[in-house]
Structure 1
Amino acid sequence: MKIGLFIDYSNMKAGGIFTYSIGILKLLISTDSVQIIYLIYPMDQEEGLRQFLTDPKVISVPVNRRRIDFKYRAILSFFFHTCYYVYLTYFKKYFPNSNKLNSIRKLGIFMNPYRKIIDALNIDVLHVPFKIAPVYGIKTPVIVTMHDIQEMYFPQFFTSQERIDRAIIYKMAVDESDHIIVSFDHIKQDIVQYFEVPEDKISVCGLP
C-alpha cells in the first residue's frame, strides 16, 4: 500500500496533535502492509521531520507554499470551497434550490494547488491527522482525523467567530472526506449526532 501523509505544524500546534501525527507516522513506518509513505509537508518545516526522511519507506514531498502562484491558488480555492459550505451550513434552509452553487465548490477543487501534487503521487489513500485536509474532491480517497468538537459542549470558551469557523470547517470535513478517524467512541457518537454522519464512515482507532 502507498499512503500519503500530510503534516503541517501550523495546523497542529495545540493539544498534542503534532505528537499524534508523529505517532501515526511511526506506526505507518512499522506496518508491513505499507510499502511507501509519501510525507507531504510545507518546505519550511522540514527540520522537524528530518529524522524520518532517511527511512527507506519515506519519500519526501516538500511543498513550497511561498510561491506566489501556489499561495494565490490556495487562497482562492479555500475561499470558493468555504463559500459553498457557508451556504450549506447557514443558508440552504432559506434557499434550498440553489444547486448551481455546486459549481463554486468545483471551481475551488479545480484551483487547489495540492490537487495535481496528490494526483501525481498515485497513492492509495491520503491521510490527514487533523480536521482540515489540504484538498478535497480528488481521485485519491481522503481520510481525516477529528479530535473533538468541544465547542458543542463548552461554547463559552470559544468566540463567535471561532464557533462559526469550526462549524464550517467541520461540515466540510465530514462531507468531503471519504473516511473519518477518531480516537474515542464518544467523539464518534458526537459527530454522528451533530453532523448526521453514517456510523460506518467513522472508525475509532486508539492513540498511536
Structure 2
Amino acid sequence: MSKNILFYIPTIDQGSGGIRQYSFNMLKMISENDTGEFNFFIYHKRNDKMFLEIIEKKANFKLIPTHFIAKTLIKGYNLLGKVISFLTFEKIIFKKEFYDFLIKKHEIQIVHCPYQFIPKTKKAKLITTMHDVQEIHFPEFFSEDELKNRAVNYPDYMERADTIIVSYNHIKEDLVNFFKINPLKIKTLLIGLNDLWIAEYFNKGIKFDFKTDFESYLLYPANAWKHKNHIKLLEAINFLKNQNKIINFLFTGDFTSDHGLFLINKIEEFELQNQIILKGIVSQDELYSIYQNATGVVVPTLYEAGSYPLYESIYIEKPVVCSNVTSLPETIGDNKFVFNPLDKIDIADKVEKLYFDEDYRNVSRLNAIKMKNELKSNNSIKTIYSVYRNL
C-alpha cells in the first residue's frame, strides 16, 4: 500500500535563502528518482515557478495551495466553542486543528517539513530538517526574541519529530551534545550536486546576456544576515582599494533588514559605491546569468551547515574561494582556496588572487571539476526513501 506524504513548505520563497534552495533540491531529488510507491502532496502557495514545474511533471505529485478559507472556518469553529463556554459558564470546547483537517482530507501518513519546523499534530508521522543550531555558537547574531523562539521551539520540534534530518555530522553532533537527542533518531543526508537547481541550466548549456556597469566582477550571493559576514568582506575590499587595487563586486540577496542597512552605510563610509552593486533578490534565471558572467565567487560566511553558493560554484565549474568553517573546507577540498573569515588580510589575499590572477582561477576551476565529480552523486535518495518506508 502506498503512503501519502505531505511536503510542507507553505511560505518558502526567495527571501528564505538556502532553505528554499534546500527544499527545492530535496523535492527535485525525490521527483527525479520517483519509484511511484509514494503520493506527494505539496502544501505551498501557488506562485513559485520552480516548485510548480516539478509538481506538474508527476502524476503522483499534487499541489495543495494554502487554504485561507479552510483556516478561517476552523478558527471560527474554535472561536464558537469559546463563545458558548462564556455564555453558558460551562467549559465547552470545539477544538479542531487545521493541520489535522489537512491530514484527514488527504489521508496523509507522513508530514515532511524540510526546514526547522513541524506542525502540531498527532495524526501523522513527522519529519523535520534541522539545518543548524547556529544560536549555540553565535548567540550575538540573534535578537533576544529570536533566541527565545529557538530556545522554546527547536527542542519542541526535535522532541515531536519521528525523524530528524541533517546535512552534516557536525550538526548531528550538536543535536546530540546540546539537546540530548537520541542519535538513532537523526539521519545524515547531504543532497547530491546533481539535484541542485543550477544543474538544469548548466547541463543544457543555457546562456543569458547579463548587463552590468562592470567589465568583470566577483559575486557573493547571500542575504544580509550577520553570519554571512559581509562586513569582513567589505573591510577586505576597502583594504585592497587603499592599495589601489580596485575589485568590483555584485551582492545578491535581501539588504532591507537593519543589518542590511548597516552594511549599506558601511559601503558609503568606505566609499565603495563605485565598486559594489546590490542586486537585491533576483530570479533564478538572473542569478544563473550573474554566476555565469562572474569572474569568480567569494563565500566569507562565519557559519554554515553547508554553503549553496559554494556548491553552485563548484557545479558550474566557477573559480571560488571560501572561509575555513564547518563543512566548507571539506567541500572545496583544497586549502589554497580557503581563508580565515575573521582576518580581512587573509580574505583580501584570496580575493585579490581570484580577481587578478588567471593562473589561480584556472587551478580553482580544475579543483571545482574534481570536487564536482566527488560530490555530485551520493546515497541521499536511498536514505530518504528508507525513512519514508520505515515510518
Is TM > 0.5 for Structure 1 vs Structure 2?
Answer: yes
Residue 39, structure 1, aligned to residue 42, structure 2: yes
Aligned residues of 1:127 and 1:144 also touching (Cα < 8 A)? yes
Aligned to 2:108: 123
TM-score scaled by length of structure 2: 0.40
1:26-175 paired onto structure 2 within 5 Å = 26-29=28-31, 30-32=33-35, 34-42=37-45, 44-45=46-47, 47=49, 49-55=51-57, 56-65=59-68, 69=72, 72=75, 111-133=96-118, 135-175=119-159
| Distance 1:69-1:14 versus aligned 2 partners, 3 A rule | closer
Partner amino acid for 1:7? I
Cα offset, 1:194, TM superposition: 1.4
Native 8 Å contact 1:119 1:140 kept in 2: no
Q: 1:10, CA displacement in angstroms?
A: 4.4
Residue 8 of structure 1 aligns with an amino acid whose one-letter code is P
Deviation at 1:54, TM superposition (A): 1.6
TM-score of the aligned structures, taking structure 1 as reference length: 0.72
Shift in alpha-carbon separation, 1:139–1:67, aligned structure 2, 3 A? closer
**1:71 and 1:119 mapped to 2: Cα distance?**
14
1:151: how far off? 0.6
How far apart are residue 11 of structure 1 and its match? Answer: 7.5
* 8 Å contact kept, 1:145–1:181: yes
Structure 1 distance, partners of 2:115, 2:137, is 20
Kindly report the root-mean-square deviation, in angstroms, between the aligned alpha carbons of the 2 structures: 2.7
**SS state at 1:143 partner:** strand
Show CA shifts across 1:52-77 (max 9, x none).
Answer: 2322221121122366625847xx9x
| Equivalent residue for 1:16, pick from 15, 18, 21 | 18
**Deviations for 1:21-80, whole angstroms, at most 9, x for unmatched residues?**
0111111112315432111123x545553212322221121122366625847xx9xxxx
Decide whether the 8 Å contact of 1:141 with 1:177 is kept in 2.
yes
1:189 aligns with 2:192: no
Higher relative contact order structure (alpha carbons within 8 Å, sequence separation ≥ 6):
1
Is 1:183–1:205's contact at 8 Å kept on the other side of the alignment? yes
Question: CA–CA distance in 1 between the matches of 2:177 and 2:159?
Answer: 14
Aligned to 2:9: 7
Distance in 1 (CA, whole Å) between partners of 2:25 and 2:134 is: 23
Change (3 A) 1:52 1:10: closer
1:187 aligns to what SS in structure 2?
Answer: helix
Letter in 1 for 2:167: S
- Higher mean C-alpha displacement, 175-184 vs 12-21: 12-21
Instruction: Quote how far apart the aligned CAs of 1:126 are.
Output: 1.3
What are the ranges of 5 or more consecutive residues in structure 2 without an aligned counterpart? Answer: 80-92, 193-391
Aligned length: 173
Unmatched segments (≥5 aa) in structure 1: 77-106
Contact 2:71/2:98 (<8 A) preserved: no
Indicate the structure (1 or 2) with the bigger Cα radius of gyration.
2
SS of the aligned residue for 2:68 comes to coil
Aligned residue type for 1:152: I
Map of 2:191 onto structure 1: 207
**CA displacement at 1:153 relative to structure 2:** 0.4
